[in-house]
């Protein structure tokens, strides 16, 4: 199993550009989440999904969109990138509630 995969690993954007961070898992997990990690802030939840077709907002959802058309994929869209979105983004998945979340390797995004 590949586990949780994320692409790209690194990305540089200009302010106002849009892009999609890809996340996929091959463990048949129902629960998937997106977090951002900033220095001194820990990880903060952006959006999460409890199954295909069901998504909800986390702590810091503004400027991001998600959709979940399949169990495997959970892309994160930046609609109009801003320097405040410079961060490391992690996708995670889990089999159930209250259990281990498996994290992808992260995407380092820089917005100029």
Partner 1 sequence: AQTVTQSQPEMSVQEAETVTLSCTYDTSESDYYLFWYKQPPSRQMILVIRQEAYKQQNATENRFSVNFQKAAKSFSLKISDSQLGDAAMYFCAYNTGANSKLTFGKGITLSVRP
Under a CB-based contact definition with an 8 Å cutoff, are residues 74 and 8 in contact? no
CA distance 88 to 103: 13
Q: Under a CB-based contact definition with an 8 Å cutoff, are residues 6 and 102 in contact? A: no
Do 52 and 69 touch, CB atoms closer than 8 A?
yes
Using DSSP, how many helices (H) and how many strands (E) does the chain show?
0, 11
Name residues contacting partner 1, limited to 43-82 (CB under 8 A): 43-45, 48, 50, 56, 58
Q: Which stretch binds partner 1 (CB under 8 A): 11-19, 20-28, 30-38, 69-77?
A: 30-38
CB of residue 15 to partner 1, shortest distance in Å: 25
Give the residue, chosen from 41, 62, 70, 112, that forms a contact with partner 1 under the rule CB under 8 A. 41
Q: Residue 106, interface with partner 1 (CB under 8 A)?
A: yes
- Interacting residues with partner 1 (CB under 8 A): 31-33, 35, 40-45, 48, 50, 56, 58, 88, 90, 92, 94, 97-101, 103, 105-106
């Amino acid at each position: 199993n590949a586990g949780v995969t994320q692409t790209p690993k690194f990305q540089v954007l200009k302010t106002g550009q849009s892009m999609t961070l890809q996340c996929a898992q091959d463990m048949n997990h129902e629960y998937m989440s997106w977090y951002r990690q900033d220095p001194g802030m820990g990880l903060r939840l952006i959006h999460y999904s409890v199954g295909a077709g069901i998504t909800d907002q986390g702590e810091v959802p503004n400027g991001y969109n998600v959709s979940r058309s399949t169990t495997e994929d959970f892309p994160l869209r930046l609609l109009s990138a801003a320097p405040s979105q410079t961060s490391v983004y992690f996708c995670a998945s889990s089999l159930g509630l209250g259990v281990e979340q498996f994290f992808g390797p992260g995407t380092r995004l820089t917005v100029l």
